[in-house]
Structure 1
Amino acid sequence: MTGRVAGKVALVTGGAMGLGKADCERLAEEGAKVVLTDIDLSKAQAVADSIGGTALAQDVRDEQRWKEAIAEVERLHGRLDILVNNAGNVIFESIEDCSAENFRLQMAIHVEGTFFGCKYALPLMIKSGGGSIINMASTASLMGYGTIVAYSAAKGAIRSMTKSIAMHCQDKGYGIRCNALMPGGIETPMVQAISGRAGQEQPVPSGALPADALGAPRDVANMVLYLASDEARFLTGMEIPIDNGLYARPHH
């Protein structure tokens, strides 16, 4: 099957590397016109050049910049069908270690960034006749990890907010679906840095993976593509782990 999102316009935040980059590539492969944003414009531009897309500089914490980014998407393409709120970072701190400053930073990037994205994308998506919003949560919002208190809190908020937005859009008849993805361990620059091997990518083999294996960014991007496509018309308000069974597996 090809052209699964042909004719659609997508906006992907944090598109310069990792999951965001894979999302951009996968959507473009299947026919979408992709506008990607990132705080690192040079890296974002390299991705845009490789997929025939458009790169914009954006700090997702900046409300005004969100308004400008949506306006630029409308100027370029006249519509918006797909929004992927992917931008994020992680700071490893427990409740005892985490400063108020770092807690607020994580909430601003993840929660406020997602909130602004959904809020300011909605009018253009409604004008376009509907679409799909995909918010990036994490299995950290489902499980107890003592060393990422702020990150876990932020991702949990995204899960709850996604359901509220989904029900609002459905009740209003906007034709806009909103779902949350919850990746587990994926072979990304962030995970490489956490693992003490920054810049050292390990190839992810094809086929079924053993327990506790890392997934490839494309594993997440494939689900982004599905949710972005009309194939997923009956899915909204869902929270979907992409974790090779991590959440389902009992740990003793």
Structure 2
Amino acid sequence: MKLEAIKSSLIVSCQAPSDSPLHDEKIIAAMAVACVQRGAAGVRIDTPAHVREVRHNLSKVPIIGLWKRQFTGYEVYITPRFEDALSIAQAGADIIAIDATTRTRPYGETLKELVKRIKGELGLLVMGDVDSLENAVVAADAGVDLVGTTLYGYTQETKHLSPPGFSLLKEIVEKLDIPAICEGGINTPDQAKMALELGAYAVVVGAAITGIDLKVQAFQTALEKFVS
């Protein structure tokens, strides 16, 4: 896959909480197809089963694949190990998204080792999800092909910040030569447009489009004080 396929475009993250009835491969695939039919250039998908079903339904659309896995004692959860990346690759992803921060990874595998194996053994592009400029630089040095602002506001170091990470995006665009993807907290079309104006290579939108569970919860929370 060539990165030009997603340049200046919308990528939709089609995911659902693991305890949601929407967390079903056929439902996720239906979301992905609907998004592509309305103009999305690509999709971002979690778990091998979901990637496989989306690939079955969208044979030529770029898929950014990842596998969220929690390991006791480690904060890294976005495709933390090579074997997780391998499963995502075998399911049909074009780009493997990984946590590209400097936090310790399970079983001692370093970021540079993980990136090298994904690119060398799997022959796929790597998207490094980061939370800061410092980690973006480290990710670029490790060999990722593109970086995303995905973890801005979601790590211990950045939990006091609220996405979207436009300030981080600007820093990455100014500092690095690899494509910067704006992801996280994009809630309106105007914000997506602003991201491109700030130099984003592409924009990933998730909950604002596909986050039914979170949207319902937000509405209900706002109305609860009026319920007698």
Normalised by the length of structure 1, the TM-score is 0.36
Q: Relative CO higher for 1 or 2, CA cutoff 8 Å, sep ≥ 6?
A: 1
